[in-house]
Chain A
Amino acid sequence: MKRSLGLIALLLVAALAAPAAAQPASERAVKAAFLVKFGNYVTWPGPATAGPITLCIVGRDPLGSAIDRAAAGQQVNGRPLAVRRLPRLDHDSGCAIAYLLGSNAQAVPAALAGVAGTPVLTITDAREGTARGVIHFEIVRNRVRFHIDERAAAASGLSVSSKLLAIALTVRSRMSR
């Protein structure tokens, strides 16, 4: 009884705490699909490991089960994808890919600063704020597009495939002018 009450309370809190995201289901599905695909176009530093790649949803999770569905059976460079939901991102969180949405516990910029320089593929969303990670979702003309900050990627030791760069809305180039 106490446990079920607790759950309901948690849910309520979660429901109240999450802002009215108003993402249409298709948008969620597309973003989810994108999220699980990004890993194929990024190279992490260091030797290749065999274990699963962790995709962390940090903060309010607008995608819900969509991400689980997208991640199921998906592979990144031959490694299975594991989805974790975290309230906050620290540099020892063990995330290879982090979708930063912000929460009361941690704002997006703080999360970004927390893992700066570490090989974490940070993905932000224009819906949440202006702070940008390596990849930054934006809806343009009713389509899910994204920006890529290659400089930030390089700073984190990540290398982004030119194929991905080719379809990005904007690319902040690694080369300094």
Chain B
Amino acid sequence: MRINWQRIPQSLAAALAVLLLLFGVAVVTQADRDYRDEQARRAQLRAEILAANVVAAVDFADLEAARETVAAFGVDPAARIVAIYDAGGTLMTGMSRASVRLPQRLDPTFVPGANLAEGRAPIMRAREQIGTTYVVSELEPLSRRLARYALITLLAVMASLIVAILGLSQAALRRANRELQDTNAELLRQMSEREKAESQLRQAQKMESIGQLTGGIAHDFNNMLAIVIGSLDIAERRFERNPERAKIAIGHALEGANRAASLTRRLLAFARQAPLQPQPIDANALVAGMSELLRRTLGEGITIETVLAGGLWRTHADPGQVENAILNLCVNARDAMEGHGQLTIETSNTMFAPDGPGAKAADPFVVIAISDNGPGMTQEVLDRAFEPFFTTKGLGKGTGLGLAQVYGFVRQSGGHVNIHTELGQGTTVCLYLPRYFGADTTVPVDEPSRDLPRAQDGEIVLVVEDEEQVRRMSIETLSELGYQVVEAQDGLDALQILANRPDITLLFTDIVMPDMNGRQLADRVRALRPELPVLFTTGYAPDAVLRSGLGGQDVGFISKPFTVDQLARRVRAVLDGARR
């Protein structure tokens, strides 16, 4: 049995010290008592020895001999009375010392005094008592007694002191140890926190740099696309009377370009630098509307089941992005199941607190959950799932952007994404989108229309765009729609033109321009012509534009690339809004 000396509590040491002290006191007291008893007995012994020695002297009344013997006994420095009494109790001879009174008669009630022991012995001749001896001696001189006590007390005190010091040093040691442990624990905690913070920082930096990269790429790409789409659109119209084949080809090109545009939009959304166009949407309707698309995209091996909750709350998000997200997740599910399996899309209402129950009050969310019964994800894959360019699919089969983009879009919409996975069982991805408490009207998704709003009389648009090709395209498009168009290539130019042309009815400006950006231009214009409606456009808008709100009556926004359709509607909306 190993004794952990450190565990012996301080109280135990103190108790031991006290016990030791008490024991010492007890020992001293007992020893003292024994000593005194012995001394008392010695007085008695002396009396007995004296009695034996003076038998004849007393018997024969030889006082001289008796006196001699008494004197011999009186040599003992502790002796205070040495006396012989005859059979009648009368003093025969005796001595006393140190102011102790020698009694003349043998008196059993005589008390010799404090600190004195007495002894009486009968002087026996045969069986007859012929006298009594009486001896009184001092027990112990006070000084010697005190010295004795002092020594023992000193020893006991020293022993107790040692124990106490040991106990105290032990306690101090234990305290220091505990402090050390606490410091150590604190150190470890701080280290782990720092690691966590560092990894979070790394993550954020990664996301940011990727965002910048993709943003940059998307911006340029976007501009090219804007040209392509616009040109094709125009070409389609111009060649309306021409052979159908041209039209079909152009249609395909348009479709492809649109898909590419959609991709860049996704990239931008991920980079958090493209404003979304959130609207109140009914997730059930949206999912239902996608079912055909999903069936076509996922293939026959996948059984699709939709469980749409009744009374589903409305949510407020960009419907295109929601569709993209769902599509992305379904494609991932299909790939995980390798083309065969069960896919379930479920919608529901829930109260969700992102930090776990109780940490923060839960808010109402609409949940869209996509589940598969594929192989599930390992912990390593789960940890990196939302990382951009991270993919478990083979080369050329996945961009690794899907989940990252979903994450970006959902976060931007004020929601959350959760992944639940179990190896061998499957994976469920839940999208939490905040409940929308606003107006009940939901805009139906993706309603193509051939009914283009056109310009009305006297509507003149000032197009401000620093990139020549893009400017050309915008001018062409607007002309096509029947608007008169004036162009400027920068803010200064625009202001000059505006000053000279009070008949301009709309300012259509790019936001990101060198020297003076669109926002600044709009502010300057407002000073000149406060009632002039403004339409901003960009493929690369800073957050400020989005955050400042685009709800103003005469401020509109259209993101590049836009179709003729979209531009027509937007311009019309802005102009109509200003007119009211």
Q: Mark B54-85, 1 if CB is under 8 A from A, else 0.
A: 01110111100100000000000000000000
Give the complex CA separation of A163 and B57 in angstroms.
Answer: 8
Q: Mark B126-165, 1 if CB is under 8 A from A, else 0.
A: 1110000000000000000000000000000000000000
Q: Mark A41-83, 1 if CB is under 8 A from B, else 0.
A: 1000000000000000000000000000000000111100000
List residues of chain A with CB within 8 A of the CB of B57: 166-167
Q: Is A23 an interface residue (CB 8 A)?
A: no
Give the complex CA separation of A83 and B93 in angstroms.
Answer: 33
Q: Is A130 an interface residue (CB 8 A)?
A: no
Contact A40 B65 (CB under 8 A): no
Contact A40 B60 (CB under 8 A): no
Contact A167 B125 (CB under 8 A): no
The residue in chain B whose Cβ has the minimal distance to the Cβ of A79 is: B126
Give the complex CA separation of A161 and B55 in angstroms.
Answer: 11
Contact A166 B125 (CB under 8 A): no
Distance to closest chain B CB from A60 (angstroms)? 24
Give the complex CA separation of A76 and B55 in angstroms.
Answer: 15
On whether A40 and B62 interact (CB within 8 A), knowing A161-B56, A166-B56, A166-B57, the answer reads: no
Distance to closest chain A CB from B505 (angstroms)? 161
The residue in chain A whose Cβ has the minimal distance to the Cβ of B66 is: A167
Q: Is A14 an interface residue (CB 8 A)?
A: no
Distance to closest chain B CB from A160 (angstroms)? 11
Contact A163 B126 (CB under 8 A): no
Distance to closest chain A CB from B395 (angstroms)? 133
Distance to closest chain A CB from B440 (angstroms)? 141
On whether A75 and B126 interact (CB within 8 A), knowing A40-B59, A41-B56, A167-B57, the answer reads: yes
Give the complex CA separation of A66 and B246 in angstroms.
Answer: 186
Give the complex CA separation of A77 and B55 in angstroms.
Answer: 15
Contact A167 B127 (CB under 8 A): no
Could you tell me which residues of chain A, from 99 to 148, have a CB within 8 Å of some CB in chain B?
145
Contact B126 A77 (CB under 8 A): yes
Distance to closest chain A CB from B151 (angstroms)? 43
Q: Report how many A-B pairs have Cβ atoms within 8 Å.
A: 31
Could you tell me which residues of chain B, from 33 to 65, have a CB within 8 Å of some CB in chain A?
53, 55-57, 59-62, 65
Chain A, interface residues (CB within 8 Å), range: 10 to 19
Give the complex CA separation of A72 and B489 in angstroms.
Answer: 171
Of the candidates A30, A37, A145, the one whose C-beta lies within 8 Å of that of B125 is A37
Contact A163 B55 (CB under 8 A): yes
Contact A78 B126 (CB under 8 A): yes
Contact B60 A78 (CB under 8 A): no
Distance to closest chain A CB from B296 (angstroms)? 146
Contact B56 A163 (CB under 8 A): yes
Give the complex CA separation of A80 and B395 in angstroms.
Answer: 145
Give the complex CA separation of A78 and B126 in angstroms.
Answer: 8
List residues of chain A with CB within 8 A of the CB of B126: 40, 75-78
Contact A78 B127 (CB under 8 A): yes
Contact B59 A37 (CB under 8 A): yes
Of the candidates A75, A161, A167, the one whose C-beta lies within 8 Å of that of B62 is A167
Of the candidates A34, A75, A77, the one whose C-beta lies within 8 Å of that of B60 is A34
Give the complex CA separation of A166 and B68 in angstroms.
Answer: 11
Q: Is A21 an interface residue (CB 8 A)?
A: no
Give the complex CA separation of A166 and B69 in angstroms.
Answer: 10
List residues of chain A with CB within 8 A of the CB of B65: 166-167
List residues of chain B with CB within 8 A of the CB of A76: 126
List residues of chain A with CB within 8 A of the CB of B125: 37, 40
- Tell me which of A34, A145, A166, A167 has the highest count of chain B C-beta atoms within 10 A of its own C-beta: A167
Distance to closest chain A CB from B210 (angstroms)? 128
Q: Is A164 an interface residue (CB 8 A)?
A: yes
Distance to closest chain A CB from B53 (angstroms)? 8
The residue in chain B whose Cβ has the minimal distance to the Cβ of A34 is: B60
Give the complex CA separation of A166 and B52 in angstroms.
Answer: 12
List residues of chain B with CB within 8 A of the CB of A77: 126
Contact A37 B60 (CB under 8 A): yes
List residues of chain B with CB within 8 A of the CB of A163: 53, 55-56
Give the complex CA separation of A145 and B127 in angstroms.
Answer: 25
The residue in chain A whose Cβ has the minimal distance to the Cβ of B62 is: A167
Distance to closest chain A CB from B203 (angstroms)? 118
List residues of chain A with CB within 8 A of the CB of B53: 163, 166
List residues of chain A with CB within 8 A of the CB of B55: 163
Give the complex CA separation of A104 and B556 in angstroms.
Answer: 184
Give the complex CA separation of A75 and B56 in angstroms.
Answer: 16
The residue in chain A whose Cβ has the minimal distance to the Cβ of B56 is: A163
Distance to closest chain B CB from A19 (angstroms)? 27
Distance to closest chain A CB from B83 (angstroms)? 18
The residue in chain B whose Cβ has the minimal distance to the Cβ of A30 is: B61
Can you list 26 A-B contacts with CB-CB less than 8 angstroms, sorted by A residue number? A30-B61, A34-B60, A37-B59, A37-B60, A37-B125, A40-B59, A40-B125, A40-B126, A41-B56, A75-B127, A75-B128, A77-B126, A78-B126, A145-B62, A161-B56, A163-B53, A163-B55, A164-B56, A166-B53, A166-B56, A166-B57, A166-B65, A167-B56, A167-B57, A167-B62, A167-B65
Q: Which residues of A contact B (CB under 8 A)?
A: 30, 34, 37, 40-41, 75-78, 145, 161, 163-164, 166-167
Q: Which residues of B contact A (CB under 8 A)?
A: 53, 55-57, 59-62, 65, 125-128
Apart from the given pairs A166-B53, A167-B60, 12 other A-B contacts in the complex at a CB distance below 8 Å: A34-B60, A37-B60, A40-B126, A75-B127, A77-B126, A78-B126, A163-B53, A163-B55, A163-B56, A164-B56, A166-B56, A167-B56
8 closest Cβ contacts across the A-B interface? A163-B56, A167-B62, A167-B65, A167-B56, A164-B56, A163-B55, A167-B57, A40-B126
